[in-house]
Chain A
Amino acid sequence: MTAVLETDHLSLQFGGVNALSDVSMQIGEGSLYAIIGPNGAGKTSFFNCLTGYYRPTSGAVRFQGSEVTGLDAAKVAGLGVRRTFQNIRVFPKMSVLENVLAGGHLRATSNLLSIVVASPGFRRTERQLHEEAMSSLEFVGLADQWNNLAGDLPYGMRKRMELARVLIADPVVVLLDEPAAGVSSVEREELSRVIQRIHDRGTCVVMIEHDVDLVMEIATQVTVLDNGRIIASGLPQDVRTNPDVIRAYMGRDRK
């Protein structure tokens, strides 16, 4: 299995805090990769390093074999590595449809002249992008919300809109930071189905998730972080029974 996304001895420090220490991970093509670990383990920091939001103190990030360490966030997104945010980030004063269209920013290629004169080429590109945005919204079950302001959507719907915004870009890898956190159990079912469908389309999915049941149900591979270090990695059923994991993660969670 070839790695789509790979880190090599990645470390990240904030002052004296080691947010990540020596993290090497290979995320294979077609996997549904889950990253779990207690709060403050460094999961979000890891995503931020992968997507150009944080520059790692040392180590390397490779995407499809080429190094992307320290690349600007917009560039990384442009390569096809798309993400959602733990504390959802929608563009509140834009409509749901426009939020999704923004996700397709790099696919709207019209030049300034054709925009200003509203050329047939521009209209065609925009119409096509609108259609695709609506399909993405249908995919996550939000098509009827297209004309509402994103800021007016309830929490669970915003999470799904963020997914639609990622999908319209036709990404190679999707990084989801706690997609099921804080949603109702009905919404959780729905999200889990959507995530599996994204995976079924052949898109590589990496998700940070606290919900161990959800992870065990859909992930193909799991890595456990604790205090910025990998303490276990493997198939879900193996990780679940790993004594280190039980001690570090499950144990502390129950306390």
Chain B
Amino acid sequence: MPTENLLHPRRTTLDGFRVMRSGLVVALVVAAALVPQMTHNQYYLGVAFQAEMLMCLALGLNIVVGYAGMLDLGFAAFFAIGAYTTGILSTKDHWSILASIAPGVVIAVVSALIIGFPTLRLRSDYLAVVTLGFGEIIQTIAINLNQTGGPTGIYAIPALTFGSVVVESNTGYYYVFFVLVLVFAIFSTRLRGSRLGRAWLCIREDEDAAKAMGINTNHYKLYAYVFGAVLGSITGSLYAPALTAISPASFGFSESLLIVMAVAIGGLGSIWGVMFGAAVVEIFPEVFRSFAQARLLVFGVALVILMVLRPRGLFPERAFQVVGARIRRRFDRPQGSATLQLAGDVLVGPGDKT
């Protein structure tokens, strides 16, 4: 552990750190926005927007698993609900894609309440089993109903339109999901900085103690589950037109597991971590396509190594702070008692641990 702040050796830590971090955020967002300008390879663009889509799903699941600490192994169910609602309404009833988001969300919320209300009181391991079952049920329904197109699914889903603008290219969907990732990330950050986020973390850390704070733990667990469902369903509704065809195979246990992996690899509860984890989970197996049959094995080994080396994820959650500058100035001792972390490296102010 470095004993002095390597980035600002002279200055004390907090504000310099914040400026640097904001700069980094802007640079990353701009770089991501320029991806379609850097390549016209449709395959790369396809992988890129699939990565964004997985980021959206991971941000949704992060509220459930990362914040509230409830293991949900059937998250793809909500993704499926959004995708199928939009698929059915847009092909059979000629709804616009945007309009079909709302009924998808409503169905997702109602199912989250029906599944969540009786089961969220259970301990986390039981919860994992129930959510796993729910994921399987939704996939089975999709395979067996006529309205959902059976095992072949739904095809010829119309394009997403905003007024007269029609989104058809991979580049177009890249930007649509780019905005969605931003919106979900900001939404998650806002929730995290409010009583909701704090209540979720308290439940994750110690549910009995959370009750002593006056937190109605059953309600807050249900809120987390419902918020996750909403984000999952919205992502599904936009996924349907992006691929133009959906089938039950895309919404099974393996998809749920992929989302859990994205959250766990990146770092439970950490928004940057979760987004990065999603990118890794999506892009890594593509990079190793040359290994052909063995690529999943290689991926699996890489994951095991990663989890041994960094059990809390690549970008573990930091202590959360949205504190007014006034408070910070008043209470941060000049030599800085704060321990700050960026990308897992601990940057410590001089004179730490007095």
Contacts of A103 in B (CB 8 A): 213
Interface string of B240-281 (1 = CB under 8 A from A): 000000000000000000000000000000000000000000
Q: Does A209 contact B (CB under 8 A)?
A: no
Cβ 8 A contact of A115, one of B196, B205, B210, B323: B196
Q: Is the pair B339, A91 in contact by a Cβ cutoff of 8 Å? A: no
Q: Is the CB of A110 within 8 A of B212?
A: no
| B214 proximity list for chain A (CB < 8 A) | 74, 77-78, 105-106, 169
Which of B187, B198, B208, B337 is within 8 Å of A89, CB to CB?
B208
Q: Is the C-beta of B319 less than 8 angstroms from some C-beta in chain A?
A: yes
Q: Is the CB–CB distance between B319 and A98 below 8 Å? A: yes
Interchain CB contact under 8 A, A92 and B205: yes
Which chain A residues (126-176) contact chain B, with CB distance < 8 Å? 126-127, 130-131, 134, 143-149, 165, 169
Considering the complex, which residues of chain B in the window 170-227 have a beta carbon less than 8 Å from any beta carbon of chain A? 187, 190-191, 193-196, 198-199, 201-202, 205-206, 208-217
Distance A91 CA – B201 CA, assembled complex (angstroms): 8
Question: Contact between B217 and A146 (Cβ–Cβ < 8 Å)?
Answer: no
Contact B216–A74 (Cβ < 8 Å):
yes
Determine if B332 is an interface residue (Cβ-Cβ < 8 Å): yes
Chain A residues closer than 8 Å to B323, beta-carbon distance: 97, 130, 146
When the two chains form the complex, which single residue of B195, B201, B321, B330 contacts A97, counting CB atoms closer than 8 Å? Answer: B321
Q: Is B333 an interface residue (CB 8 A)?
A: yes
- Verify if A211 is at the interface (C-beta below 8 Å from B): no
Q: Is the CB of B319 within 8 A of A147?
A: yes
Determine whether the beta carbon of B333 is less than 8 Å from that of A115: no
CB distance from B87 to the nearest CB of A (A): 28
Point out the residues of chain B lying under 8 angstroms from A53, CB to CB: 208, 211
The complex places the Cα of A103 from the Cα of B322 at a distance, in Å, of: 17
- In the complex, B72 has a CB within 8 A of chain A: no
**Interface size counted on chain A using CB atoms at 8 A:** 46
Q: Is the CB of A102 within 8 A of B190?
A: no
Please determine whether B321 and A77 come into contact, CB atoms closer than 8 angstroms: no
Are A72 and B211 in contact, CB atoms less than 8 angstroms apart?
yes
Residues of B within 8 A of A82 (CB): 212
B202 touches A94 (CB 8 A): yes
Asked if A212 is at the interface (CB within 8 A of a chain B CB), the reply is no
Cα–Cα, bound, A52→B209 (Å): 12
Docked Cα-Cα span, A105 to B327, in Å, equals: 20
Q: Which of B187, B201, B317 has the most CB of A within 10 A?
A: B201
Once bound together, how far apart are the Cα atoms of A130 and B212, in whole Å? 20
CB <8 Å contact, B217 and A74: yes
From B205, B209, B213, B337, name the one whose CB has the most chain A CB atoms within 10 angstroms: B213
Given contacts A91-B206, A94-B202, A130-B324, contact A147 B190 (CB under 8 A): no
Inter-chain contacts of B198 with A (CB < 8 A): 94, 98, 101-102, 105
Q: A93-B205, A95-B321, A116-B190 are in contact. Are A110 and B339 (CB under 8 A)?
A: no
The reply to whether A127 and B324 form a contact with Cβ atoms under 8 Å apart is yes
With contacts A110-B195, A126-B322 taken as known, whether A93 is within 8 angstroms of B339 at the C-beta atoms is no
Q: Are A74 and B215 in contact, CB atoms less than 8 angstroms apart?
A: yes
| Alpha-carbon separation in the docked complex, A130 to B198 (Å) | 13
Per-residue A-contact encoding for B57-77, CB less than 8 Å = 1, 0 else? 000000000000000000000
Interface band, chain B: 35 or more
- Nearest residue (CB) in A for B186 is A116
Cβ of A246 within 8 Å of any chain B Cβ, yes or no, is: no
Point out which of A78, A94, A108 has the most chain B C-beta atoms below 10 A from its C-beta: A94
CA distance A76 to B347 in the complex (A): 42
* A143 and B213 contact, Cβ closer than 8 Å, known pairs A94-B205, A116-B190: no
For the complex, what is the distance from the CA of A21 to the CA of B198, rounded to whole Å? 39
Q: How far is the CB of A172 from chain B (nearest CB, A)?
A: 13
Given A105-B198, A147-B338, check contact A51 B212 (CB 8 Å): yes
B202, B212, B214, B323 interface centre (most CB from chain A within 10 Å): B212
Q: Which residues of B contact A115 (CB under 8 A)?
A: 190-191, 194-196
B212 to A93, Cβ gap below 8 A? no
A91 to B320, CA, bound (A): 13
Partner of A105, one of B213, B324, B330: B213
Q: Does B331 contact A (CB under 8 A)?
A: yes
Measured between alpha carbons, how far is A143 from B195 in the docked complex, in Å?
A: 21
- CA A142 to CA B254, docked complex, whole Å: 47
With A91-B206, A93-B317, A98-B320 as given contacts, are A77 and B201 in contact (CB-CB < 8 Å)?
no
Q: Do A91 and B205 form a contact, CB below 8 Å, given A74-B217, A126-B322?
A: yes
Determine if A118 is an interface residue (Cβ-Cβ < 8 Å). yes
21 cross-chain CB contacts under 8 A: A53-B211, A73-B212, A74-B216, A77-B211, A77-B212, A78-B214, A89-B208, A94-B205, A102-B199, A102-B202, A103-B213, A105-B215, A115-B190, A115-B191, A115-B195, A116-B187, A134-B327, A134-B331, A143-B331, A147-B321, A148-B337
Interface residues of A (CB under 8 A from B): 51-53, 72-74, 77-78, 82-83, 85, 89-95, 97-98, 101-103, 105-106, 108, 110, 112, 115-116, 118, 122, 126-127, 130-131, 134, 143-149, 165, 169
Binding site for A on B (CB under 8 A): 187, 190-191, 193-196, 198-199, 201-202, 205-206, 208-217, 317, 319-324, 327, 330-333, 337-339
Extra contacts, 13 of them, besides A89-B206, A90-B209 (Cβ < 8 A), are A53-B211, A74-B211, A91-B210, A97-B321, A97-B323, A98-B319, A102-B202, A103-B213, A115-B194, A116-B191, A144-B331, A144-B333, A148-B339
- Minimum-distance CB pairs A-B, first 9: A95-B319, A108-B195, A91-B205, A89-B209, A73-B211, A77-B214, A147-B338, A115-B194, A78-B214
